[in-house]
Structure 1
Amino acid sequence: MDWLKEFLQGTPEITLFICLALGYLVGKLRVGPIQLGGICGTLIVALLVGLIGVSLNDEVKNIAFALFIFALGFTGGPQFFANFNSSGLRMGLLSVIEMVSVVVLVLIIAGLAGLDVGTASGILAGAATESAVVGTATEAIGNLGLSGDQTSVFQSNVATAYTVCYLFGLVTIVLFTSGLAPVLMRINLRESAAALLRKMGGGDDDPGEAPAAPRLVGRDYRVSAAAGRTVAQLEAALPARATVEKVSRDGKPVDVAPDLALRDGDLVLVVGERAALVDAENVIGEEQAGGAGLDMELETRHVVVTRKDVEGRSIGDLRDNELARTHGVFLTGLSRTEQHLDLSRGTRLHRGDELTVTGATSDLDRVTTLAGYAVPRTITTDFVYLGLGVTIGMLIGQLSIRIGDVPLSLGTGGGALLAGLVFGWFRSRHQFIGNFPPAAAAMTKDLGLATFIAATGLTAGPQAGPLLAKYGVLLPFCGIGMVLVPALISLFVGRKLLKLEPPILIGAIAGQQCSTPAITAITNVAGNSVPLIGYTVTYAMSSILLPLTGPIVVGLIGG
């Protein structure tokens, strides 16, 4: 096997992509609701490959992390700043509890067990199940002014401790939120989530299930039963929302208006929710085969909410007013922080939410103006804006202050994160500049973090054995305990003080931990997407706050 060792050592760029491929393959392994994910899988593979002495240039690692953390801030900026209101800050308290708890706990553990700064930081990153902390802590260790060998050892300890604590922390948060928390609150999560969804005016669809037939359909009818009625009267007579889009009389098109009286024999094209057209023949007349000359093209558009007069309003309010006054526009989807929410009447809109609307182009233009702006169809990234943002972030990271003898610096990671937040927020308000398509941002985040983690694991491989031999028993207990303590505190505060509904509170606890596997398990148990309402708020806050704990812990312990 010497030839393989020499090949991997001589071509570290190929080794990187081998680690990514195998790591994401390992990350696909699932045991019940538990799935490692590609990042943890990549780190495990990189640690093993690193044992043969393969390493990547530090500049590769730094550039990859800067791109990841800037993209994280850019995509999370609109939601992060949108939560600076009474409702968002109320639930965001749980993210603050998570941040403060893990910092205090790791300081206590480090003091009692005599942990070095690298091991302590790795425990924090793993127990918080937040991969970004690995980057911010590793970079902060490099700024402590230690010798090269000592810096390398401590940075390697971050990756090793993170891997072990992450495994146990991930299992703990999944089991706690999907199983133990409902028991402690003495509720049946599925029944409680279903009751809350009905209270909000939603349906009973299971998450992840797509309807066998489309919700929005178009049908041609020959008017008989509806003869003598106006268009507005016909639309009101249908059991769900539908609109008359086209009318043909004696083979000629007729301008559609609410007061247009329909005549016997008219051909009409009706577009609307499937429920409205199930029994429409009894209301309108016989359905006609397609190709009657009344077909029309409908556009589906993704609209980002930025207008203050829409932010905070419910879906039901939006449907009853703006959408009801805009002929032929249907709301078909709602997503927040890349999570799809239920379109129940009680769901409230946040700045940065993405609405999926379908209708005629002219009608969609009016809705877009009312709500915010349409996601550009272009896939081109504005590299002027992106490059300027990363540059400013790196410059901010170079700034350092001293509190006593403790040097504190955000580093490249913290600086790029703050720059990403501001640039993303500015882009949400001024969409004519700074295009960074969601798919491109997601690719930048995933590839940047995976590359950084692989590079870190390759370097840490030779140091993993001694650390595991020294702290092998302590690390699993830290991973479990540092998840349970903040989760239990948040459960008490959220239920007794904040009076949050149990399904929303459980989702919020998963969000404060930034745990996608946990919210997946929760929604599977709950049977609907109601817990996502809490998850999206705390996830947006914690994804920004937790990476900042890396430099804090390194500064306090390392100083």
Structure 2
Amino acid sequence: MEWLHTLFFGNGIAHAVLTFALVITFGILLGKIKIGGVSLGITWILFVGIFLSHFGMTVDDGVRHFVQEFGLILFVFSIGLQVGPGFISAFKHGGITLVGCATAIVLLGVATAYVIHLATGTPIPTVVGILSGAVTNTPGLGAAQQAYADASGIQDPTIAMGYAVAYPLGVVGIILTMIIVRYALRIRFEKEDEGLAALSAEKKLADKVSVEFTNQMLDGRTIEYMRDLVNRQFVISRVMRPTGEIIMADATTQLNLGDRLWIIGQGDDIEAIVAFFGHRVEMTDREWGNNTPNSELISRRILISRPEINGKKFSDLRLRTKYGITISRVNRAGMDLIPYQGLELQVGDRVMVVGTEKSVAKVADLLGNSLKKLDHPNLITIFVGIALGVLLGSIPLLNVPQPVKLGLAGGPLIIAILIGRFGTHFRLVTYTTTSANLMLREIGIALFLAAVGIGAGSGFVDAIADGGYRWIGYGVIITMAPLIIVSLVARLWLKMNYYTLMGLIAGSMTDPPALAYANATAGNDMPAVGYSTVYPVVMFLRVLTAQMFILFAL
């Protein structure tokens, strides 16, 4: 049975593969267990790695370190691709307030950790590990470990130990903060629902409305002439003549008194557009689609799947001129956009095309309209991005006193965000299905947590017995103090809706279990909106501050 002992406690490749497989398997199974409706989820992989390593199932340091860093790169890169398209827009449409509050939570957490270091004498690497666990941010842990190894040339296992000790109560502390704020400020959901109605009054990016044309000053003028006058983004998709005839509209279409217009415009502009043309009338989508005398006018949603279209503008394709169709809406990641001529198209966009059946079919062939093509991953974008990320992360930015680098967490994250936002400008296909992105991300974080746990297990129990139990209290302070302070300011001074505030709290900690609790408590999607608004910026700040904390303290 020597072979069996070697397989479980040896030092070969088979042993390494088996160890990682067992750690990840048991970690995922334990992650399905919920206590009080709360689960530590995939973080159980870390604790299983610590447990097995403590009893002798270790992995060669070189192999373990490679798996750890490569898993981290896969994780942060897939996150960057996901949040990249919305990273800049997070600062728009009122999001600046949420982002500002989330930034304050991040910085207060770092300040609290530093005060604990000064007051207790706990080493900076350990404090940064506790900080990463307290705010439930695994990429920050990876960034701190790599920054310390680059600066000192050695690994410090107490970073991972601090993280492991602080993480469980970090999850609980975030949810507990939501409860404390709710009861301390005597928040009533009935009043929050009234406030939610006001928040929900903000329009979507694209709204459609039926309007009767009554502006006598513009009788007989073309749509192009009127668009220059109103100076707002809108599309007139169809025009119904007083006779009941429905025609597709283009820039040269003349409007006459009594015409009815189907207008798609930005939510904030729609009232002004309606007042400019005439007044609203009630018409259903069916009325607009089925009243055509020749029954040839159809509308169809077409998926852009041809890589050649990626990054091109509507003006480049000249669809209206060539095929006689109208594009009324563009749906990107569940959001409707106004299809103006300068809009750059991306693979994965869905465009609403209005025209004859023959013309619509030709446009579908041009744009691709093949869901099967999108099932194939665009590996070249991923690996080119990883290569550029590693290069960026290795460039010394400052020397105070050690070279400051973005590292293997920060570099790929920034490049992925930039590719997700601007990749179409360089003809890079950045689209990945949600399932493919999630698979890549989960594999990366599972490998990373398993490697970290295996590396930290040998000295974990001794560290806890030697005063490490105090780290639990430090973690609770780092978790809750910044959240409570900023929550009080956001609620009492900024008058933030409690549902949005819960999303801010969960997003500032990038904590999915807290978001799940917030969504279940609220019964609406406002926590998810707040979470997604601050998530990209917070993820970036957590990685950056963890590295800076380590490097400036050395």
Per the normalisation by structure 2, the TM-score is 0.70
Equivalent residue of 1:433, what SS? coil
Aligned twin of 2:448:
452
Q: Is the 8 A contact 2:491 2:497 kept in 1?
A: yes
1:522 to 513, 518, 521: 518
Task: Give the whole-Å Cα distance in 1 for the aligned partners of 2:143 and 2:355.
Answer: 46
Tell me what 1:182 maps to: 182
The one of 364, 389, 392 aligned to 1:393: 389
Amino acid at match of 1:79: G
Q: Check conservation: 1:191, 1:526, Cα contact below 8 A.
A: no
Contact 1:380 1:435 survives alignment (8 Å): no
**Which residue in 1 is equivalent to 2:58?**
54
Rounded Cα–Cα distance in structure 2 between residues aligned with 1:105 and 1:3: 51
What is the deviation of 1:163?
1.5
Find the aligned partners of 1:101 and 1:365 in 2 and give their Cα distance. 55
Aligned counterparts of 1:375 and 1:492: Cα–Cα separation in 2: 50
Q: Is the 8 A contact 1:65 1:135 kept in 2?
A: yes
Q: Deviations over 1:45-81 (max 9, x none)?
A: 1111112142151222222222222222222122222
CA contact (8 A) 2:130 2:475 kept: yes
Correspondence 1:469 to 2:470: no
Q: Is the 8 A contact 2:327 2:354 kept in 1?
A: no
- Matched position secondary structure for 2:152: coil
Distance 1:418 1:332, change over 3 A: closer
2:204 equivalent to 1:164: no
Determine the C-alpha separation between the residues in 2 that align with 1:192 and 1:373. 48
Match of 1:63 in 2: 70
Give the Å deviation of 1:333: 9.1
Following the alignment from structure 1 to structure 2, what is the Cα–Cα distance between the partners of residues 302 and 184? 51
SS for the counterpart of 2:404 is strand
Question: Any residues of structure 2 matched to 1:309-320 within 5 Å, and which?
Answer: none
How many matched pairs?
Answer: 449
Quote how far apart the aligned CAs of 1:173 are: 0.4
Q: In the TM superposition, what is the alpha-carbon distance from 1:453 to its structure 2 partner?
A: 1.2
Structure 1 residue aligned with 2:36: 32
Listed one character per residue, the Cα deviations across residues 134-191 of structure 1 (whole Å, up to 9, x for unaligned) are 1111111111234xxxx34x1x2222211221100100101222x2222233212x42
Q: What amino acid sits opposite 1:166 in the alignment?
A: Y
Mapped to 1, the partners of 2:390 and 2:355 lie a distance apart of 42
In the alignment, what sits opposite 2:21? Answer: 17
Aligned pairs for 1:62-461 within 5 A: 62-85=69-92, 87-146=94-153, 151-152=154-155, 154=156, 156-177=157-178, 179-188=179-188, 190-200=189-199, 242-243=286-287, 245=289, 254-255=294-295, 334=334, 377-427=373-423, 433-461=429-457
Give the % identical residues.
Answer: 23
Q: Is the 1:332–1:358 contact (alpha carbons within 8 Å) kept by the matching residues of 2?
A: no
Check conservation: 2:192, 2:497, Cα contact below 8 A.
no
Report if aligned partners of 1:140, 1:411 keep a CA contact under 8 Å in 2. Answer: yes
Deviating more after overlay: 463-472 vs 43-52: 463-472
1:496 and 1:455, CA in 2 relative to 1: closer, same or farther beyond 3 A? same
For 2:73 and 2:185, the matched residues in 1 are separated by 42
Q: Would you say the 8 A contact 2:424–2:430 is kept in 1? A: no
Q: Deviations over 1:510-543 (max 9, x none)?
A: 1111111112111211121122222211122111
Partner in structure 1 of residue 528 of structure 2: 532
AA at the equivalent of 1:50: S
Q: Gapped runs of 5+ residues in structure 1?
A: 203-227, 258-295, 309-324, 337-350
Query: What is the SS of the residue equivalent to 1:100?
Result: helix
- Worse-superposed segment, 165-174 or 107-116: 107-116
Q: Does the 8 A contact of 2:500 with 2:530 survive in 1?
A: yes
How far, CA to CA, are the matches of 2:71 and 2:327 in structure 1? 46
Distance 1:373 1:542 in 2: 36
Could you tell me which residue of structure 2 aligns to residue 43 of structure 1? Answer: 46
Name the CA distance, whole Å, in 2 between partners of 1:301 and 1:193: 39
Q: Deviations over 1:238-275 (max 9, x none)?
A: 89654465589xxxx94267xxxxxxxxxxxxxxxxxx
Report which stretch shifted further, 522-531 or 491-500: 491-500
Whole-Å Cα distance in 1 between the matches of residues 456 and 499 of structure 2?
Answer: 40
**Rounded Cα–Cα distance in structure 1 between residues aligned with 2:464 and 2:356:** 64
Whether the aligned pair in 1 keeps the contact of 2:504 and 2:530 (CA below 8 Å) is yes
Give the unaligned 5+ runs of structure 2: 202-241, 247-259, 263-279, 306-310, 314-325, 337-344
1:414-467 per-position Cα deviation (integer Å, ceiling 9, x unaligned): 111111121111126666634444332222211111101111111111021121
SS at match of 1:531: helix
Aligned to 1:280: none
Change (3 A) 1:126 1:4: farther
One-letter amino acid matched to 1:132: P
**2:134/2:476 contact within 8 Å kept:** yes
CA-CA distance at 1:115 after TM superposition = 2.0
Tell me: CA distance 1:506–1:113, structure 2 relative to 1, closer, same or farther (3 Å): same
Aligned partner letter, 2:52: V
AA matched with 2:160: A
**Cα pair 2:504 2:527 within 8 Å, conserved:** yes
Letter in 2 for 1:75: Q
Structure 1 residues 362 and 406, CA gap change in structure 2 (3 angstroms): farther
Q: Root-mean-square deviation (CA), in Å?
A: 4.3
Q: Contact 2:245–2:291 (CA<8 Å) still a contact in 1?
A: no
| 1:312-338 C-alpha deviation (Å, 9 max, x unpaired) | xxxxxxxxxxxxx978x89899479xx
**d(CA) in 2 for partners of 1:302 and 1:201?**
30
Q: Pick closer, same or farther for the CA change 1:530–1:83 going to 2, 3 Å.
A: closer
Separation (CA, whole Å) in 1 of partners of 2:28 and 2:300: 39
Q: 1:374 to 1:66 in 2, by over 3 A?
A: farther
Q: 1 CA distance for matches of 2:95 and 2:392?
A: 28
Residue 400 of structure 1 aligns to which amino acid in structure 2?
P
